[in-house]
Structure formats: structure tokens, C-alpha cells
Amino acid sequence: MTVGQAKRTSAVNGDAWIKSLITLIDTLTALVAEENAELAKGLPASRLKQVDEKNKLAEIFERTVAECAAGTTSLTVRDRILREQLLERILRLRAAMDENLVRLRAAIEASNRRIEAVMQAIREQIAAVSPYGASGRVAAARTVSSGTSRSA
């Protein structure tokens, strides 16, 4: 194999790797967009079916980014169109992830409000039947009416 052939083979393999990276980014972006749509409907984050798959793909993507940052993997793309596609996909993913972060925070806040409302209702229910007052002492005896009915 000549040097020129080796460079072409490397470029083809590099292009294939970049195309697989674009496919990964597209899949991840679609999952995040689907999750965002579910969150927009008000579903709690814990009930989303995309979470596991999103986390798996995000981990692969993060590993790839880390390899590129460490210099063990090169993201050099000679084909201008392919490079533009990759950059466009990265920007789309970033926008979807930014929206996802906002929606997840809102879902967490909504869940916290629901939990607090339930806890408040429980506290009120306990206070209504507790023999102790706020100070921890036995509360004044409550008047209870009991009627008796005598029928002969």
C-alpha cells in the first residue's frame, strides 16, 4: 500500500467514524427531544422511558469528547460538508440539552412541591389527632360531646 492509499483509507475510515458519530448525535438529540416533549406535558422525570437510553448514549458521547480532548482520538474532518454536518448536529444537541436541563429542573421543582403538599397534609392530619401541642406538652383536654339515649 502506498502512502497515498494509506491516507485515503485513513480518510475513509475517519469519514465513517464521523458519520457514526453524527448518527449517535442524531439519536441522542431525538431521545432528548422526545423527553422534552414528555416533560412539557407535565410528566414527572422519574416516569420517562427515555432516561436509560439517553444516559447510555450520553456516556458514549462524553467518552468520545474526552478522547478528543485528550488527543487519543482525532476529530479532524477534511470533508467540508461532513464537518459542517457534524458542527450543525453538535449545535442541535446542545440546544436540546439546554432545553432538557430547564425542563428537568422544572419537573424536579414540581415534584418537590407535590411532596411538600403531601407532607403538609400529613402534618395537619397528625396535628389534628395528636394529644400533644406545639410545645410538646399534653394539650388541653378537648371537649367531646357524647350523648346518651335512653329509650325504655
Does residue 39 lie in a domain region? yes
Does residue 48 lie in a domain region? yes
Cα–Cα distance between 20 and 83 in angstroms, integer? Answer: 13
Cα–Cα distance between 131 and 87 in angstroms, integer? Answer: 67
How many structural domains are present in the chain?
Answer: 1
Neighbours of 76 (CB within 10 A): 10
Give the residue, 85 or 146, on which the prediction is more confident.
Answer: 85
Does residue 11 lie in a domain region? yes
Measured CA distances, 26 to 79, 93, 145 (Å): 19, 8, 71
pTM of the model: 0.67
* pLDDT score at 1: 40
Domain containing residue 11: 3-129
pLDDT band for position 141 (cuts 50, 70, 90): low
Does residue 150 lie in a domain region? no
